[in-house]
């Protein structure tokens, strides 16, 4: 009888949870002069069972190579295109030129209208005025094509828009960006579309190693490090994502889902970087996102790893050129398993523990 009950429970578990790999995609950046051609890259995704891809622009070679691949795609509107798309006719023509010719042979899942536009004191701030109109116009163009239930139109933010992140339950957006963000998340809630967020525990750890330990940042802490309203946090990723959920609640949009549109760890080039640290973070993240967060347990988190390749033409600090899962010669830097795993391989984090623990973050 016990054996039958166990099998029934495993059957229910398998029916309600998809393998973690089905939730994890990889960002395909192209800022390198030594990268494989688009067809080789799509073949590499397929041979590694990577079922989702983020593109940062509607690259025609990549989209052409994606035809019939069954890979689900997030297509980006480059920030430089935002002013043009703030005009309805510009958005209409962008969708007609970059989306409709490829649908449905390319499984376009999202359109990302801009990436990490920061409305205050940033080089991208001048673009903030265009984000909401561009978002609405692209949405309307997709809807006019009858595809709004299949292709979701959103924006990607970074965590610099969060003003309070600790404890996670007190998460709140910065006061000086609310006039920018509130209408955007209001539209997303109305359109039943998730907000996209780029979440990197690496940068939080690098900027504050005194208070944030490496094990907490890479999912190797043996027990909860932070307790907040009865929830135990064993890793920083959960704390960051839950602070974003709390910020959305505090802004009146607690029903919004979040897709993690970028997350990764550099293998070289700066403090805390190594192949071992990156491999540990990435493999643990892939296992972890199937199980949700302490605030939203049991809800798989759609996540995109950054990035497919080391990109030697990325600007900025040296670490920016070392986020790849693969070297430009297509050799894997880490042994990561995408898809094909049994549902019960998903790791269940110990955030349901009831014993008290006091520790510094």
Instruction: Provide the annotated active-site residues.
Output: 116, 262
Residues 6+ apart with CB under 8 A from 176: 119, 120
- CB-count exposure of residue 233 (10 Å: 0-12, 13-18, 19+): buried
Query: With contact defined as beta carbons under 8 Å apart, do 65 and 41 qualify?
Result: yes
Q: Is 51 left (phi over 0), alpha (psi -120 to 50) or beta?
A: alpha
Backbone angles phi, psi at 269, to 5 degrees: 105, 0
What Rg, from alpha-carbon coordinates, does the chain have? Answer: 20
Helices (H), the chain: 2-16, 38-47, 60-66, 82-85, 88-98, 128-144, 178-190, 201-207, 214-217, 236-250, 275-288
Residue 75, both tokens:
């297509």
Composition of the chain by helix, strand, coil, percent to 5: 40, 15, 45
Q: What is the DSSP string of 41-67?
A: HHHHHHHTT--EEEESS--HHHHHHHT
Q: Residues 232, 361: contact at Cβ < 8 Å?
A: no
Side-chain half-sphere exposure of 242, counting CA atoms within 13 A:
27
């Amino acid at each position: 009888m016990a054996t039958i009950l166990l099998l029934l429970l495993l059957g229910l578990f398998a029916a309600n949870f998809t393998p973690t790999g089905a939730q994890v995609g990889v960002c395909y950046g192209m800022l390198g002069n030594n990268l494989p051609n688009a067809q080789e890259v799509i073949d590499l995704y397929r041979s590694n069972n990577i079922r989702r891809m983020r593109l940062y622009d509607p690259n025609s070679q990549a989209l052409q190579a994606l035809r019939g691949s069954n890979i689900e795609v997030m297509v980006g509107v480059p920030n430089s295109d935002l002013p043009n798309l703030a005009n309805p006719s510009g958005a209409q023509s962008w969708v007609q030129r970059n989306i409709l010719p490829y649908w449905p042979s390319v499984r376009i899942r999202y359109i990302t209208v801009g990436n990490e536009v920061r409305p205050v004191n940033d080089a991208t701030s001048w673009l903030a005025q265009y984000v909401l109109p561009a978002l609405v116009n692209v949405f309307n163009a997709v809807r006019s094509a009858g595809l709004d239930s299949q292709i979701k139109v959103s924006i990607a933010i970074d965590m610099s828009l969060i003003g309070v992140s600790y404890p996670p339950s007190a998460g709140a957006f910065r006061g000086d960006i609310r006039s920018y963000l509130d209408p955007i998340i209001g539209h997303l809630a109305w359109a039943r579309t998730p907000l996209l967020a780029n979440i990197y525990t690496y940068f939080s750890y690098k900027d504050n190693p005194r208070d944030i330990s490496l094990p907490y940042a890479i999912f190797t802490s043996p027990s909860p490090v932070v307790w907040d309203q009865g929830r135990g946090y064993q890793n920083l990723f959960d704390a960051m994502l839950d602070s974003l959920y709390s910020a959305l609640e505090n802004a009146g949009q607690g029903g919004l889902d979040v897709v993690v549109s970028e997350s990764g760890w550099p293998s070289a080039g700066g403090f805390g970087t190594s192949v071992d640290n990156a491999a540990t973070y990435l493999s643990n993240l892939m296992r972890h996102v199937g199980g949700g967060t302490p605030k939203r347990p049991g809800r798989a988190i759609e996540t995109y790893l950054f990035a497919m390749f080391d990109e030697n033409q990325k600007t900025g600090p040296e670490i920016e050129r070392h986020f790849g899962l693969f070297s430009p010669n297509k050799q894997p830097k880490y042994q990561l398993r995408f898809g094909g795993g049994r549902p019960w391989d998903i790791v269940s984090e110990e955030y349901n523990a009831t014993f008290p623990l006091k520790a510094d973050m």
